[in-house]
Amino acid sequence: MNRIGFHYFPDFHHYQQSDLETWLPRLKNLGASWLVLHTPVTRALPESFIQGLLEADIEPILDFQFSPEKMPSLEDFELFFRIYARWGIKYTVWLDRPNMQNTWGGSSWAQSDLVERFLDLHLPLGEACVKAGLTPILSPLQPGGDYWDTSFLKAALEGIQRRGHQALIDKLILGAYAWDADHSLNYGKGGPESWPGARPYFTPKGEQDQLGFRIFDWYDAIVKSVLLESRPIFLFGLGSPTETQKTLHIAQLLSGEKAEGLEPIPEFVLGGAFWLLSAPEGSQHAPQAWYQPNGETLPIVEEMLHWQGSHPKQVPPSPRESHLISHYVLLPSYEWGVPDYHLDALRPYIKAHQPTVGFSMQEAAKARRVTVIGSPAEYPEKAIRQLRSNGCVVERVEGDGITLASKIAKLT
């Protein structure tokens, strides 16, 4: 299982066709399956760039860039979410490191109930995201941070649960900055169960904490303490420009290979993105870029290419390669038959768009896009997650009679 990804440029200016032609071969040679894209809130990224990544089986994560003080309207986000979902995007993230003072600004930070104010911003966006068919990633926190990250995360999860946002809980993915902080990659493994002496802002001598690559062990323990089960975690900001061997070991672990006595990465880690693929000349991030503005590369590039080339893997077809059906409309069926209002509501849409129509989850899983007709009573969220895990772009339409017909008429 390959979970290797990268952060793309730290700006909004490298999304032309020529950029795709330059970077797509390099990403494939490096074994990338994920790409975190710096995403503006004033315009959409070019569809051709997104489609090029998807066709190459590289999953984009849209990292929306805005500050709480200059947050666009919810209506603007809803429009972007619908557009990106229609193109095949699945994952988004926003509001980077909300446990840091400089994220909020001095006046906002000084106010009370920081976590609750974070949820006031995050939850409406998250609900809109889910409604559009996308999956939001909970904002990654600064390890440690001005507001201790593990305390912030626990309070945020409890707040989401207390406010009754079950749709978000069902689709919850956590973001985490897995910086090694000059520690061994095994530092902190096992989480708080292995290091019970660690406390917020204080780690006694002889104890270890979450401030390392194994931060996911600590976050998973928090998730299970609140939600009683694990949730996927995506790792951001991986690697170090000065530690080539350690960075290579992270790539090996993400690919499911063993690496010099290091503990494997658990399955709940969805993937991870190395910082940073490239940066423009003059950027403060340029020294960290694997591909330098002057055309040179950091030593890790050669090491990665050598490792990828000398370790051929038998990779099964990706979910996208198994999508034999373009669009499938999944209808519920009952012991007494199929409701006439479902068929009546769908008839104009079927004539106009000619999707495949059926009642089989197995058939639907072979489609690139699936429109599910019915409520969670007919098709529970677990079934929807199964389709999405197979790479399907899924949208649910609920209602009956005129209401259902009206909603279906709005589909594109």
Domain CATH code at residue 33: 3.20.20.80
215 and 335, same domain (yes or no): no
Report the pLDDT value the prediction gives residue 241, as an integer from 0 to 100: 85
Residue 18's Cβ-count burial label (10 Å; 0-12, 13-18, 19+) is exposed
Total domains, the chain: 2
Q: Same domain, yes or no, for 306 and 338? A: no
Cα–Cα distance between 183 and 369 in angstroms, integer? Answer: 44
Same domain, 278 and 326: no
Domain of residue 329, CATH code: 3.40.50
- The answer on 194 and 102 residing in a single domain is yes
Give the predicted TM-score (pTM) of the model: 0.76
Which residues 6+ apart lie within 8 Å of 18 measured at CB?
none
The residue behind tokens 């939600």 is 227
On whether both 268 and 404 belong to a single domain, the answer is: no
379 and 255 share a domain? no
Task: Assess whether 213 and 354 both reside in one domain.
Answer: no
pLDDT value for 337: 65
Whether 267 and 177 share a structural domain = yes
Q: Which residues contact 283 (CB under 8 A, 6 or more apart)?
A: 10, 11, 289, 293
Q: What pLDDT, on a 0 to 100 scale, did the predictor assign at position 380?
A: 85
Residue 300 contacts residue 290 (beta carbons within 8 Å): yes
Handedness of CA 179, 181, 184, 187 (dihedral sign): negative
Q: Look at residue 61 in the predicted model and tell me its pLDDT.
A: 98
- Residue 216's CB is within 10 A of a number of other CB atoms, namely 25
Place of tokens 């707040």: 159
| Full residue range of the structural domain in which residue 398 is found | 319-409
**Which of 285, 310, 335 is where one domain is finished?**
310
**Sign (positive/negative) of CA torsion 343, 347, 351, 355?**
negative
Where a domain ends, among 310, 339, 366?
310
Put the strands of the sheet holding 367-373 in their side by side order. Answer: 356-358, 325-330, 367-373, 393-397
Alpha carbon distance 254, 31 (integer Å):
11
Helix, strand counts (H, E) of the chain = 15, 12
- Give the model's pLDDT for residue 277: 97
Calculate the alpha carbon distances from 143 to 119, 146, 300 in Å.
19, 9, 24
**Per-residue pLDDT tens listing for the chain (412 residues):** 589 999 999 999 999 999 999 999 999 999 999 999 999 998 999 999 999 999 999 999 999 988 888 888 899 999 999 999 999 999 999 999 999 999 987 677 777 799 999 999 999 999 999 999 999 999 999 999 999 999 999 999 999 999 998 888 999 999 999 999 899 999 999 999 999 999 999 999 999 999 999 999 999 999 999 999 999 999 999 999 889 999 999 999 999 998 878 999 999 999 999 999 999 999 999 999 999 999 899 999 999 999 988 554 444 444 444 567 888 888 887 766 667 777 777 788 888 888 888 888 888 888 888 888 888 888 888 788 777 766 777 888 887 666 777 777 767 5
Where would I find the H helices in 255-400?
A: 299-310, 340-353, 361-364, 381-389
Residues 296 and 333 in one domain: no
Residues 151 and 252 in one domain: yes
Q: Are residues 69 and 176 in the same domain?
A: yes
End-of-domain residue from the set 255, 290, 310: 310
Claim to verify: residue 242 and residue 349 sit in the same structural domain: no
